[in-house]
Structure 1
Amino acid sequence: MRLIVVSDHSLVSEAVRMALASRGFEAVSLTPPSGRGGHRDFTMRVSRFGPAVGLLLCELEDRSLLRDAVATVSSVRIRWLLLTRSRDTAAWGALFEAGVSAVLPMTTNLDTLAGALTQEAAGRPVMADEVRVRALEAWHEESVQSRRVAGLMGSLTPREMAVLAMLHDGLTVKLIAQGANVSEGTVRSQVKSILRKLEVSSQLAAVAAYRQMREFALAVHDDE
Structure 2
Amino acid sequence: MSRLPARKETRVLIIDDHTLFAESLELALSVEGYDAHRAEERASGTSAAAVLAAAVRMHPRIVLLDLDLGPSGDGARMISPLLAAGAQVVVVTACVDRARWGGCLRHGARQVVSKSRPLNEILSVVRRVSQGLPVIDHAERDRLIRLWFEQRRELEVLAERLRSLTNREREVLDHLMQGHTVREIAVTSVVSEATVRTQVKSILAKLEVSSQLAAVGMAHALQWRPPSSHAVAV
Match of 1:75 among 53, 62, 81: 81
**Residue of structure 1 equivalent to 2:21:** 12
**Residue of structure 1 equivalent to 2:177:** 168
Contact persistence 2:90–2:109 (CA under 8 A): yes
**Residue of structure 2 equivalent to 1:52:** 61
How far off its partner does 1:109 sit?
A: 3.1
Q: In 2, Cα distance between the equivalents of 1:144 and 1:153?
A: 14
Q: For structure 2, which runs of at least 5 residues remain unmatched after alignment? A: 1-9, 226-234
SS across alignment from 1:214: coil
**Residue of structure 2 equivalent to 1:192:** 201
Q: In 1, Cα distance between the equivalents of 2:17 and 2:108?
A: 19
Larger Rg computed on CA atoms = 2
Q: In 1, Cα distance between the equivalents of 2:224 and 2:15?
A: 23
How far off its partner does 1:197 sit?
A: 2.2
Aligned: 1:152 with 2:165: no
**Residue of structure 2 equivalent to 1:222:** none
**Residue of structure 2 equivalent to 1:219:** none
Over residues 135-182 of structure 1, what are the superposed CA-to-partner deviations in whole Å (9 max), with x where a residue is unaligned? 212211221122222222222122211111221222221221122222
Higher relative contact order (CA 8 A, sep 6+): 1
SS across alignment from 2:214: helix
Q: How many residues align?
A: 209
Q: For structure 1, which runs of at least 5 residues remain unmatched after alignment? A: 217-224
Give the aligned CA root-mean-square deviation in angstroms: 2.7
Q: In 1, Cα distance between the equivalents of 2:216 and 2:30?
A: 48
More helix by share: 1
Aligned: 1:205 with 2:175: no
Q: In 1, Cα distance between the equivalents of 2:215 and 2:27?
A: 48
Aligned: 1:141 with 2:147: no
How far off its partner does 1:38 sit?
A: 5.1
**Residue of structure 2 equivalent to 1:121:** 130
How far off its partner does 1:123 sit?
A: 2.6
Over residues 75-134 of structure 1, what are the superposed CA-to-partner deviations in whole Å (9 max), with x where a residue is unaligned? 211221122222111111121122211122223333332221010122322232233222
TM-score (norm 2): 0.77
TM-score (norm 1): 0.81
**Residue of structure 1 equivalent to 2:189:** 180
**Residue of structure 1 equivalent to 2:110:** 101
SS across alignment from 1:76: helix
